[in-house]
Amino acid sequence: MTARIIDGKAVAAALRATLAQRIGGLGYAPGLRVVRVGDDPASGVYVRNKDRAAQQAGFNSATIQLPEDTSEAALLAVVAELNADPAVDGILVQLPLPPQIRADAVIQAIDPAKDVDGFHATNAGRLAIGQPGLVPCTPKGVMHLLAAAGASPRGARAVVLGRSNIVGKPMAALLLAADATVTVVHSRTQNLAAECRRAEILVAAVGRPEMVRGDWVAEGATVIDVGINRLPDGRLVGDVAFAEAARHAGAITPVPGGVGPMTIACLLENTLDAAVARRG
Ligand SMILES: Nc1nc(=O)c2c([nH]1)NC[C@@H]1CN(c3ccc(C(=O)N[C@@H](CCC(=O)O)C(=O)O)cc3)C=[N+]21
């Protein structure tokens, strides 16, 4: 079998077009503020792509760049200001943060109604108990991609590789809410390959370049690669060895051009949803 390639760029463009249309009917531009402390290279491309996509779709979007040596107190003051600003609907503080700042203290200081990353404990808790809230962008984007690929989670065996708070855990919660039979596997799991081979839907989110080999993939499985890893030679690869996996999968996302563009589109979707919830 050779896999169909799931075009995340196209699915993201379609989603952004529907957002632009919704914004056209609002009578105001939803406000997004991204706060970046220092210049971690992992977030550079992201910030640029996000700003462009946001402007094009009709958001009032800006990045607030702070110096690398910003104190936690100074960052909390910026967050408080954005919480209080009625023109701001969505706040995203770029991770990772420098070592003098406790990321968790900052995340929990964001108004949950403006927490478009969905990382606040209130939103994480809502997701866990099936209440409406803001859902983390990357796992939300994966759900859109599964729908676009025609891979219904209902009743399917789904395996999530990775257990982070930003991808693995919310991914498992979303798949469970969509009636999949969900297994979460991680670095301490015995016989990872065999567990992954049981998956009809395999989501790889470990941050280890090309860890998932071809023989970890069941014939016909849908493989979603969340990893974006820069190799020493400059190449960008996922957590899945793409060429090998594509020989077994029924459908697979590429890197780049898979999940990454969906993360950005879902950030915008969350910002629009947050705006409508706050201002109608
Ligand atoms: N609070 C917070 N929330 C985040 O969601 C967050 C963050 N901090 N810090 C940095 C990471 C990284 N991230 C990316 C999202 C999309 C692409 C993306 O669109 N990538 C394209 C292009 C990649 C390229 O060409 O380099 C692709 O995969 O096709 C990349 C990286 C979100 N992050």
Q: Would the annotation count 150 as a binding residue? A: no
Same domain assignment for residues 217 and 144: yes
Task: Examine the domain organization and report whether 144 and 219 are in the same domain.
Answer: yes
Distance 264 CA to ligand 1 centre (A): 7
Nearest atom in ligand 1 to the alpha carbon of residue 267 is: 5
Q: Determine whether 117 is an active site residue.
A: yes
pLDDT at res. 145: 98
The answer as to whether 159 is a domain residue is yes
Please give the Cα distance from 54 to 46 (Å, whole number).
Answer: 12
Task: Judge whether 272 lies within some domain.
Answer: no
Is position 20 within any domain?
no
Calculate how far, in angstroms, residue 172's C-alpha sits from the geometric centre of ligand 1: 20
- Report which protein residue has its CA nearest ligand 1's atom 13: 46
Q: Which residues neighbour 259 within 8 Å (Cβ) at sequence distance 6 or greater?
A: 8, 138, 141, 142, 145, 224, 225, 226, 228, 253
98 and 64 belong to one structural domain? yes
Tokens representing 245 are 């996996």
In this structure, the answer to whether residues 80 and 161 fall within a common structural domain is no
Pocket lining for ligand 1, CB < 6 angstroms: 42-43, 45-46, 49, 92-95, 117, 137, 228, 236, 255-257, 260-261, 263-264
Q: Do 249 and 161 have their domain in common?
A: yes
Residue 45 confidence (pLDDT)? 78
ipTM of this model? 0.98
Shared domain check, 141 and 104: no
What are 155's two structure tokens?
């009743």
Residues 160, 235 share a domain: yes
Instruction: Give dist(CA 109, CA 221) in Å, integer.
Output: 40
Rounded to two decimals, the pTM is 0.98
pLDDT of residue 43: 76
Residue 165 is part of a domain; what is its CATH number?
3.40.50.720
- Ligand 1 atom 14 nearest Cα: 46
Query: At a CB cut-off of 8 Å and minimum separation 6, what does 134 contact?
Result: 112, 115, 116, 117, 118, 120, 123, 270, 273, 274
pLDDT the model gives residue 211? 98
Catalytic option among 115, 117, 239, 273: 117
Range of the domain at 34: 27-112
108 is catalytic: no
Is-catalytic flag, 94?
yes
18 found inside a domain:
no
Both 171 and 222 in a single domain?
yes
Residue 5 covered by a domain: no
In this prediction, residue 46 carries a pLDDT of 85
Tally the domains of the chain: 2
Dist CA 105 CA 82 (whole Å) = 16
What is the per-residue pLDDT for 112?
98
Q: Is residue 214 part of a domain?
A: yes
On whether both 142 and 220 belong to a single domain, the answer is yes
CATH number at residue 102: 3.40.50.10860
Which residue, judged by its Cα, is nearest atom 26 of ligand 1? 45
Per-residue HEC secondary structure of 11-54 comes to HHHHHHHHHHHHHHCCCCCCEEEEEEECCCHHHHHHHHHHHHHH
Query: Residues 108, 209: one domain?
Result: no
Q: Is residue 250 part of a domain?
A: yes
Structure confidence at residue 41 (pLDDT)? 76
Q: Would residue 174 count as lying in a domain?
A: yes
Write down the pLDDT at residue 40.
Answer: 81
Residue 46 and residue 102 in one domain: yes
Q: Are 257 and 9 in contact (CB under 8 A)?
A: yes
Q: Which residues of the chain have pLDDT under 70?
A: none
